[in-house]
Amino acid sequence: MQELERTTRILSESLARAVDRRTFLKRTSQATFAGLIALAVGQGLPGRAGAVRGGPKPPSPPQIPQCAPPGPYCNLNGNTQDPNGCHGAHCFQHLYQGQVLQCNIWYCCYQAGCWTTASGNGFWTCCDCECGGGVAHCGCAQFSAAPVPQPDQPGLRGKNN
């Protein structure tokens, strides 16, 4: 045991004489800072390393929204299954009889005008839309793999929400 202590002391003294303290502190602080940045970005965690190196990809959303709008999905290209007239699940515009109409949430059937529907490994947020002041109706949808929101438990989101 004494031999190990003696060897350790000799090596550490040799290292201390060979390395400048400023250089040692500078390099140590740089390595620590780089490690903390990697950890903050998520690259320093072993569980995340597989995702960075081409590990399993998250499931892609279903191609067709799982909603039941009061008409086609709000679209600008005539494709009733492509909700490209929406901003996410929010109503925006709809092509109706060759004219682009401005759309808003339609509160006819749901108090909020929107709802969520579970689908696969996530959920669809769906909204009913009224366009051109009631001239046409359509729907918007957005898929999310995040947990379904729980509006009846606002304390789970944080103090200020």
User: Residues 28, 103: one domain?
Assistant: no
Number of domains forming the structure of the chain: 2
Q: For residue 66, give its domain range.
A: 58-148
Q: Is residue 25 part of a domain?
A: yes
Q: Is residue 99 part of a domain?
A: yes
Phi, psi dihedral angles at 87 (to 5 degrees): -110, 90
| Confidence category of residue 130, pLDDT binned at 50, 70, 90 | very high
Residue range 58-111, pLDDT digits in tens: 556 556 777 878 788 999 998 887 888 898 888 999 999 999 999 999 988 777
Structure tokens at 103: 């759309």
User: Residues 99, 48: one domain?
Assistant: no
Structure tokens at 82: 């492509």
User: Residues 129, 91: one domain?
Assistant: yes
User: Residues 77, 39: one domain?
Assistant: no
- Mean residue pLDDT of the chain comes to 76
User: Residues 100, 25: one domain?
Assistant: no
- Number of Cβ within 10 Å of residue 62's Cβ equals 13
Q: Is residue 68 part of a domain?
A: yes
User: Residues 64, 141: one domain?
Assistant: yes
Read off the pLDDT of each residue in 41-54 and give the average, rounded to a whole number.
54
Return the ∠ at Cα 105 (arms to 76 and 140), rounded to 5°: 45
* CA–CA gap between residue 4 and residue 6 (Å, rounded): 5
User: Residues 17, 41: one domain?
Assistant: yes
The model's pTM = 0.53
Query: What is the amino acid identity at position 18?
Result: A
User: Residues 89, 42: one domain?
Assistant: no
User: Residues 64, 45: one domain?
Assistant: no
Structure tokens at 62: 């279903």
Q: What is the pLDDT of residue 135?
A: 93
User: Residues 42, 75: one domain?
Assistant: no
Lowest mean pLDDT among 23-27, 129-133, 152-156: 152-156
Which is nearest to 120 in space by CA: 161, 60, 72, 68?
A: 60
* CA–CA gap between residue 35 and residue 39 (Å, rounded): 6
User: Residues 115, 68: one domain?
Assistant: yes
* DSSP structure string for 29-77: HHHHHHHHHHHHHT-SSHHHHHHHTT-PPPPPPPSS-----SSSBP-SS
Structure tokens at 24: 């040692």
User: Residues 80, 114: one domain?
Assistant: yes
